[in-house]
Structure 1
């Protein structure tokens, strides 16, 4: 499909731009010089001609924004994009080029520059036709190809009234493993396995087949079509599990934002929590395998989204999301407020060793109550800011 060629051209243009950035002196690294280099590359390389000029400008803006995020925030510096690990995507920065029409209750048509008319699955109402104006309109789109197929996500700009401050109940959230999300009022949110039993068996069978076929490949030899097809099926199952996890997190955080006016969470430094314990050759680490398993569990539960998702959902409803200091929330007794050694008998049970208290209960529930207590004591950090009024529509499957 032509969109695949545009996606590869987008990745190649990014790599060329990054190579140009590293080669140029600092005094010549400017937006105007980069734009001139891109125009020269598109004229001299026929492969890049399949990419529309506006999409090439979007690559340039994204690259400079990546450097700005690196200089001003905790983001890493941009790097080269590999062919295998990079998501194939093309950005359409201007919405007037899309010419969206709805042809059926479930289907719509959109114009893609240098591709033509493409049919997509209509999954959410869009401001098109008479519903579009200067305040509610489509500002662009993004084509994405992943393991589950091709999708198009429209950027929709809408004008929303500023919500009134909401005076609702307060709640603290603790993130764990035995109970993924525990609330201070006793509510728990749990989930099962993201893949069914048959899907797990199929995934194991595909991984074994891929390992067997990989043994017959010579060093440096490209993967055969059969091996690549096996890799694609493995990626499809893993993408399905990831999408189910995202759906559960969105439903959970939306329910929390609708129910509570103030949500308190732990200010966790997840980047430091998931560092490897291998150490160095001079000072090797201990319990490396156990720490690696813990890191995989933290990544699987996606604790970071428990902060980012409720941040804009509570702000949109007039609520507040506050971060509290994380140290001590899992070892402090929520009944008496004392921290005693040996209170955390196991991962799931907390028993206070204070002879005057002796409270016992679920460890995650105890941590959630401590989070709420810290917020009520005025120890909350800077509240997480809400998003702007610009929101994005759900991705639609292109056919």
Structure 2
């Protein structure tokens, strides 16, 4: 089967190359906004790719600063914008909107892989070609199908230059052909996602992590955020942002980027281990976007527990539950496994041993004791929820519809003894 994956590497740009890259990035963002205005002002019957392409060609002639963006990168902006509308029409995303300068990520597309001219220089560094930027160095951390190792089924199909808080990166689009995986023969597992226990498995084990920032980094972030608020209050309405405030924003973004890199690294290692061990992985079908809604309310009907709910929302967002499931899905599929989404209601209230929901069984955040006199089952509350999720995965329907896989048609027993 063919596999499409992205590989991210850090770029090493000279000051001159950095200036050119930033010019191209701002031109790409401005072109997106111009295309968006042109698209939304036209009548529906006149909106099509051919007319948009002609408008972009004319805009590059009339606006000299758009010439800093390579022609192929400009075409990629149009394709990305049209794909965003297709995702909206299919119900997978919201409608595309204006990209603000300080609230959008700077990116430049290189749609043709043959233009990259990738070469490995030594064990640590590789070299690639970026249009109008020249040859640039990037950190070589994974073998890429280039040179004699590339063919029509194994090759780099394109790339995107991305500016983040810690500098410029390149994301290669890599297409490889791999044999169809054999069916995974390992045990099944249910996973309960939480805050105190990030991942609680139905076999009684947990996957935990510490703080993403050290004590010194966390204290530095706290002081920078206090400094940011003082400088923001000192600004007059409409006054231009000072360089000191901009520098403070950049330092905050760098620390948060460090925390995110560590979180993604932990998620990759943990999900790889789970996908290699278990054949069927069951998770709750959670609508996370509704779980992190604010409790602020309105002036007429103010909310209650606003600060507590805000802290809970930050904790949920910090765990990135959706990203964990997305990693599990593609890693399990590559190993012949399956990820099943099951309905979330009552997974933490139901006893996984007798299947009865008895009021008061959830004695605390971490302890579950079944109040059914004929059962009296005891376990960690998250482990009990994981066992219920594993049991529910034996049904042929998930929270999003039919699973369409016979491997989940029967109820399966727990994979191990519960944790007392």
Q: TM-score range by the shorter chain?
A: over 0.9
Counterpart in 2 of 1:249?
A: 267
> In structure 2, which of residues 17, 22, 25 is the aligned counterpart of residue 4 of structure 1?
22
Counterpart in 1 of 2:57?
A: 39
Q: Is the 8 A contact 1:320 1:383 kept in 2?
A: no
CA distance in 2, matches of 1:248, 1:62: 30
Deviations 1:73-98 (A, max 9, x none): 23111111111111111110001111
> In structure 1, which of residues 337, 340, 351 is the aligned counterpart of residue 355 of structure 2?
337
CA distance in 1, matches of 2:83, 2:51: 16
Partner secondary structure for residue 157 of structure 2:
strand
Counterpart in 2 of 1:66?
A: 84
Are residues 1:154 and 2:167 paired? no
Partner secondary structure for residue 158 of structure 1:
strand
Deviations 1:251-297 (A, max 9, x none): 11111000111111111111222222333445443333332222222
Partner secondary structure for residue 22 of structure 1:
helix
Q: Is the 8 A contact 1:323 1:382 kept in 2?
A: no
Instruction: Tell me the TM-score normalised to structure 1 length.
Output: 0.93
Q: Is the 8 A contact 1:322 1:384 kept in 2?
A: no
Are residues 1:290 and 2:308 paired? yes
Deviations 1:29-81 (A, max 9, x none): 11111111111111111111100111011111111111111111231111111
CA distance in 2, matches of 1:310, 1:12: 36
C-alpha distance 284-216 of structure 1, shift in aligned 2 (>3 A): closer
Partner secondary structure for residue 25 of structure 2:
helix
CA distance in 2, matches of 1:27, 1:170: 52
> In structure 2, which of residues 270, 273, 276 is the aligned counterpart of residue 258 of structure 1?
276
CA distance in 2, matches of 1:56, 1:138: 20
Instruction: Tell me the TM-score normalised to structure 2 length.
Output: 0.88
> Per-residue deviation at 1:362?
1.1
Deviations 1:203-229 (A, max 9, x none): 122222223333433222222222211
CA RMSD in angstroms comes to 1.6
State which drifts further: 326-335 or 217-226: 217-226
Mapping of residues 305-324 of structure 1, within 5 Å? 305-324=323-342
Partner secondary structure for residue 321 of structure 2:
coil
CA distance in 1, matches of 2:245, 2:324: 37
Partner secondary structure for residue 386 of structure 2:
helix
Are residues 1:279 and 2:297 paired? yes
> Per-residue deviation at 1:109?
1.2
Partner secondary structure for residue 324 of structure 2:
helix
Counterpart in 2 of 1:76?
A: 94
Which structure carries more relative contact order (alpha carbon 8 Å, separation 6+)?
Answer: 1
Partner secondary structure for residue 340 of structure 2:
strand
In structure 1, runs of 5+ residues without a counterpart are 386-399
CA distance in 2, matches of 1:6, 1:125: 28
Q: Matched residue pairs, number?
A: 385
Q: Is the 8 A contact 2:396 2:403 kept in 1?
A: no
Are residues 1:326 and 2:344 paired? yes
> Per-residue deviation at 1:383?
4.1
Mapping of residues 60-209 of structure 1, within 5 Å? 60-209=78-227
State which drifts further: 49-58 or 291-300: 291-300
CA distance in 1, matches of 2:201, 2:317: 21
Deviations 1:377-396 (A, max 9, x none): 445454499xxxxxxxxxxx
Q: Is the 8 A contact 2:396 2:404 kept in 1?
A: no
CA distance in 1, matches of 2:157, 2:135: 18
Partner secondary structure for residue 297 of structure 2:
coil
Q: Is the 8 A contact 1:321 1:384 kept in 2?
A: no
